[in-house]
Amino acid sequence: MNRTLAALAALSLVSVSTVAQGQAPSLESQADAALKGDTHAWDFVEGITTEVGPRQAGTEAEARARAWATAWLTAKGFANVADEPFMMDTWVPGDIARARVTAPFAQDLVVLPLGDSAATAAGGIEGEVVFFRTVDDLRAAPAGSLKGKIAYISHQMRPAQDGSHYGFAGPVRWVGAGIAASKGAVATVIKSVGTDHHRNPHTGGTSFPEGVAPIPAGALSLPDAENLERMFDRAGGRPITLKLELNPRQIGQTQSGNVVGEIVGSNPSLPPVLLACHIDSWWNAPGAFDDGAGCAIIAAAALNVARSGQPLRTIRVLMAGAEEVGLHGSVAYSKAHIDEAIAVGLESDFGADRIWRFDSNFLEANPALHRRIAASVARFGVSTSREAAGGGADLNIVRDQKGALIDLQQDGTRYFDLHHTPDDTLDKIDIAQLRQNVAVWTQVVGILADESTSIQTGGPIPSAPAIMQRQ
Amino acid sequence: MNRTLAALAALSLVSVSTVAQGQAPSLESQADAALKGDTHAWDFVEGITTEVGPRQAGTEAEARARAWATAWLTAKGFANVADEPFMMDTWVPGDIARARVTAPFAQDLVVLPLGDSAATAAGGIEGEVVFFRTVDDLRAAPAGSLKGKIAYISHQMRPAQDGSHYGFAGPVRWVGAGIAASKGAVATVIKSVGTDHHRNPHTGGTSFPEGVAPIPAGALSLPDAENLERMFDRAGGRPITLKLELNPRQIGQTQSGNVVGEIVGSNPSLPPVLLACHIDSWWNAPGAFDDGAGCAIIAAAALNVARSGQPLRTIRVLMAGAEEVGLHGSVAYSKAHIDEAIAVGLESDFGADRIWRFDSNFLEANPALHRRIAASVARFGVSTSREAAGGGADLNIVRDQKGALIDLQQDGTRYFDLHHTPDDTLDKIDIAQLRQNVAVWTQVVGILADESTSIQTGGPIPSAPAIMQRQ
């Protein structure tokens, strides 16, 4: 534990579970107070970005982040704090990432590798670039037509409040390299899947189909991608050649882990409320928005609920490891805990801008609770809808149990300006919007944690998880 | 000449000087047309950023940029196009720029060298960081107090429409490293002199006093600088150590040059109107705002004036080389041409956002002309003031001649978000504001070029430059 956390521990002498019900402020006033002046969330996200920074899964940096979070949760008075380890295959980006147009115009382009990219030969590879305006155009290219070529794949992603353009443009990154490789391409570069105009590429995972050998796969920053496209306009049909050098590599199995902690309920035999986020980030991203803020919000909400009196149910925070690189933490957590019923799962993993909508997957099965929660957060500017909540990436356990899920939808307009880039830094967090998140989470989690009937149905609490009952 | 420029040349068969006075649109309508739809300026800045990009003075990239500009001016029909060479001392940045906080928290920081920085030893140097909140705090540090230390110098620069915070914060970069070196520091890192929050440091020149050996001097991006400052807050007095590795070097004398071209006036014996910009950029900056836009604006204005009929005076454009690294082009141009009287000088070198004020240095000596120009640009949202115009960096010749100067003040609110960074890319240019610049320049240059009396005094044209008359 470092000095900062020791100091925090000293401040936490009054454990979070010791506030007696009678003396405590109401849940509503606690949520209102969070809106005005929550300090827990900022302390977490400022701390982890300042003292740790980028923390790629399976590396020593993520291990430091897990130790930091474990110490923070302990210092804040969480119970049953643990770092539950698991093993995973780990890819690292290397330290060379260069791209240069060599003809007909000479210019360096800013590039970073995508997760699971292969390396180029030392010194780089050079090839003619074939321009695809969309991933569908790439899909339509004839078999073998990219032999010896470098595929460049573009898109027209735009900012969207609900983030839905990630689904629109994301396949460029998710499957573009694999499709290009299957048609003979020696490498792929994509326009970063993002919405900003800074010279910082957006990385993220890519994948290759069974039987297709990985090829070098990079992301250009959006200004560089647009420059490359203008070169095609100005080249008048002359071939554009690119030299690309990347040296990522697979390093085999390494350890990651899931950090957990609890506010213990007065009836610990009831299924807990599970609040999830992820602790890892990509190597290039300090992870303020993705997902330091999410961990900050869920932990702050748990602490604020506890300050309004011990809840009926246990509130468990899950700061999952290795989300970015393939949801390994979510899978490992579900595997390890599938027999422990979860009452309801909620995740924060979409930045720190304001929550604007509450969705659940129990509107039809438990309409009274859905409406009560919706009414409770209206004062924070949060509406509701008939969309069924699907839960965040780290809630595999709840999906595997076919359990109750809530999505507290955040404004994602700025999210893909920062996602998976070096620009994902603390200064991007608007503390007023961060506090609105904490206030909404405090209100919602407080209601859920004091619910004595089944959240999913409004009926009696089932004696075992749904997944077990169905067996 | 490449194909693009060959195509442009084909489009320019009607030379700019062939429009007969009677058939030509009025100057006013030509300026109004520029506001609505000028294409020359965009063509220049899009072309040079796409086909050349970064172009540091004295390097092969600047030589390519000068050749590109020469070909563009020729294709557009300018007369007397030339690239006037001069020699200069050249510093290059190298290819290693790494900074890592090693204790008490481990984290990489994004750094770039400042112009004229020394190199570190191979493998880097490590030292305790001493934090100075202002350059005045650094000045106040006792002699010898930085022995073996790395100085970190901060500032509180804010965006300002008139760009005046560059003067407020600029000394951190201009003299910080030299002061630190004189007090024994082994290296300096500064908070970038800029106003954005992206992970792209702002480079720029630094300097060392006579007798003080240069030390390694880097700029951190603003988010990294703020992170370093937060580390001081969180370190509780523990020393913060930084490892820095930079490998810039001086490569001796290389060639740069000044690109010039003219719209020849009907009375070429009258002193010309000189329009200046600079063709070079820092190695890390594609130079859209600084100063591709400036060259685009002046060249477009000259072309638009010519389309309204042959002017009385010659209009000369000067795209100076080697501005960034010490105004070498401006100095060389004045030295070579000091005996040729210049009627008036104007420079565009502050981005591409709208012009909001017209200043001259002849308000008292030639108030009628000052007022006529001010009235002519009011319709474009341009006011005037009693501030005396000082002229841009590349107008040394006019200052040396004690001649007439005009400043067309641009909105600099965004300028120091981009200045000397990789983010200085084409997408930052708002074409509507770029066109307002061209419109204002067209109007002003058109008036100046048809002025038959002395611009400086309203009296007879002097027979020799002021500097010659005084001898």
Local confidence band at B22 (pLDDT 50, 70, 90 cut-offs):
low
Residue among B51, B64, B106 whose CB faces A234 most closely = B51
Q: What is the pLDDT of residue A8?
A: 43
ipTM of the complex: 0.91
Q: What is the pLDDT of residue A16?
A: 53
Condensed to tens digits (0 to 9), the pLDDT of residues A265-288 reads 999 999 999 999 999 999 999 999
Contacts B426 to A, Cβ<8 Å: 223, 226-227, 230
DSSP track, B359-381: EES-TTTSHHHHHHHHHHHGGGT
Condensed to tens digits (0 to 9), the pLDDT of residues B231-286 reads 999 999 999 999 999 999 999 999 999 999 999 999 999 999 999 999 999 999 99
> pTM score > 0.80 for this model?
yes
Q: What is the pLDDT of residue A21?
A: 53
Give, as one character, the DSSP assignment of residue A1.
Answer: -
Amino acid at A432: A
**Block residue for tokens 């022995």:** B147
Local confidence band at A3 (pLDDT 50, 70, 90 cut-offs):
very low
Q: What is the mean pLDDT of chain A?
A: 94
Local confidence band at B10 (pLDDT 50, 70, 90 cut-offs):
very low
CA distance A353 to A371: 24
- Among A377-386, B22-31, B176-185, B439-448, the minimum mean pLDDT is found in B22-31
Residue among A51, A197, A427 whose CB faces B105 most closely = A51
CA distance A364 to B408: 65
What mean pLDDT is predicted for residues B348-357?
98
Give the Å distances, CA to CA, from B317 to A55, A444, B274, B391.
52, 66, 6, 15
Do A180 and A188 contact (CB within 8 A), yes or no?
yes
Condensed to tens digits (0 to 9), the pLDDT of residues A413-438 reads 999 999 999 999 999 999 999 999 99
Q: Å from A126 to nearest chain B CA? A: 19
Find all residues with CB under 8 Å of B443, minimum gap 6, and list them.
B27, B28, B31, B376, B377, B380
Condensed to tens digits (0 to 9), the pLDDT of residues B381-431 reads 999 999 999 999 999 999 999 999 999 999 999 999 999 999 999 999 999
Give me the residues paired with residue B357 across strands.
B383, B409
Contacts A3 to B, Cβ<8 Å: 236, 238
Burial of A237 (0-12, 13-18, 19+ CB in 10 A): exposed
> Are A423 and B107 a contacting pair at CB < 8 A?
no
Burial of A37 (0-12, 13-18, 19+ CB in 10 A): exposed
Give me the residues paired with residue A276 across strands.
A318, A347
Q: Which of B270, B316, B262 is nearest to B452 (CA)?
A: B270
Contacts B222 to A, Cβ<8 Å: 427
Local confidence band at A18 (pLDDT 50, 70, 90 cut-offs):
very low
CA distance A413 to B42: 29
- Does residue B11 surpass a pLDDT of 60? no
Find all residues with CB under 8 Å of A312, minimum gap 6, and list them.
A265, A266, A267, A270, A449, A450, A451, A452
- Does residue A33 surpass a pLDDT of 90? yes
CA distance A298 to B290: 45
Q: What is the pLDDT of residue B219?
A: 98
- Does residue B221 surpass a pLDDT of 50? yes
Do A293 and A411 contact (CB within 8 A), yes or no?
no
- Does residue A11 surpass a pLDDT of 50? no
Max Cα–Cα distance, chain A, nearest Å = 79
Give the Å distances, CA to CA, from A318 to A84, A346, A409.
10, 10, 19
- Does residue A361 surpass a pLDDT of 50? yes
Q: Tell me the backbone φ, ψ of residue B119, rounded to 5 degrees.
A: -85, 155
Q: Tell me the backbone φ, ψ of residue A39, rounded to 5 degrees.
A: -115, -20
Strands B79-92, B111-113: pairing kind: unpaired
Contacts A203 to B, Cβ<8 Å: none
Q: What is the pLDDT of residue A26?
A: 96
CA distance B96 to B119: 10
Q: 3-class DSSP state for residue A15? A: coil
- Does residue B3 surpass a pLDDT of 90? no
Residue B363, token pair as written in the block: 């308000």
Find all residues with CB under 8 Å of A269, minimum gap 6, and list them.
none
Q: What is the pLDDT of residue A471?
A: 39
CA distance A368 to B237: 55
DSSP track, B188-217: EEEE-SSS--SS-----B----TT-----E
Q: 3-class DSSP state for residue A242? A: strand
CA distance B235 to A40: 19
- Which stretches of chain A sit within 8 Å of chain B by CB? 2-4, 7, 46-47, 49-54, 64, 104-108, 110, 197-200, 222-223, 226-227, 230-231, 234-236, 238, 286, 421-423, 425-428
Residue among B54, B200, B234 whose CB faces A50 most closely = B234
- Does residue B17 surpass a pLDDT of 60? no
Contacts A200 to B, Cβ<8 Å: 198-200
> Are B105 and A46 a contacting pair at CB < 8 A?
no
Q: What is the pLDDT of residue A468?
A: 55
Q: What is the mean pLDDT of chain B?
A: 94
- Which stretches of chain B sit within 8 Å of chain A by CB? 2-4, 7, 46-47, 49-54, 64, 104-108, 110, 197-200, 222-223, 226-227, 230-231, 234, 236, 238, 286, 421-423, 425-428
Q: Å from B8 to nearest chain A CA? A: 12
Amino acid at B22: G
Return the HEC string of A317-332.
Answer: EEEECCCCCCCHHHHH
CA contacts within 13 A on the Cβ side of A31: 19
Local confidence band at A355 (pLDDT 50, 70, 90 cut-offs):
very high
> Are A197 and B425 a contacting pair at CB < 8 A?
yes
Residue among A50, A110, A198 whose CB faces B105 most closely = A50
- Among A149-153, A395-399, B16-20, B423-427, the minimum mean pLDDT is found in B16-20
User: CA angle, corner A55, sides to A50 and A58, nearest 5?
Assistant: 155
Condensed to tens digits (0 to 9), the pLDDT of residues A211-221 reads 999 999 999 99
Residue B131, token pair as written in the block: 């934090």
CA distance B418 to B430: 14
Strands B79-92, B249-263: pairing kind: antiparallel
The count of residues in chain B is: 471
Q: Which of B49, B196, B188 is nearest to B127 (CA)?
A: B188
CA distance A388 to A399: 13
Mutate to test the interface with A, among B11, B95, B234 (most CBs of A within 10 A): B234
> Are B198 and A423 a contacting pair at CB < 8 A?
yes
- Does residue A178 surpass a pLDDT of 80? yes
Contacts A8 to B, Cβ<8 Å: none
Do B221 and B201 contact (CB within 8 A), yes or no?
yes
Do B416 and B194 contact (CB within 8 A), yes or no?
yes
What mean pLDDT is predicted for residues A122-127?
98
Radius of gyration over every alpha carbon of chain A, rounded to an integer in angstroms: 23
Max Cα–Cα distance, chain B, nearest Å = 79
Across the A:B interface, residue pairs with CB atoms under 8 Å apart total 102
Local confidence band at A462 (pLDDT 50, 70, 90 cut-offs):
confident
**Block residue for tokens 């299924």:** A271
CA distance B411 to B413: 6
Please give the distance of CA B276 from its chain centroid, rounded to a whole number: 10
What angle, 0 to 180 degrees and rounded to 10, lies between the N-to-C axes of helices A27-37 and A431-449? 160
> Are B227 and A49 a contacting pair at CB < 8 A?
yes
Q: Which of B172, B180, B152 is nearest to B416 (CA)?
A: B172
Mutate to test the interface with A, among B107, B231, B284 (most CBs of A within 10 A): B107
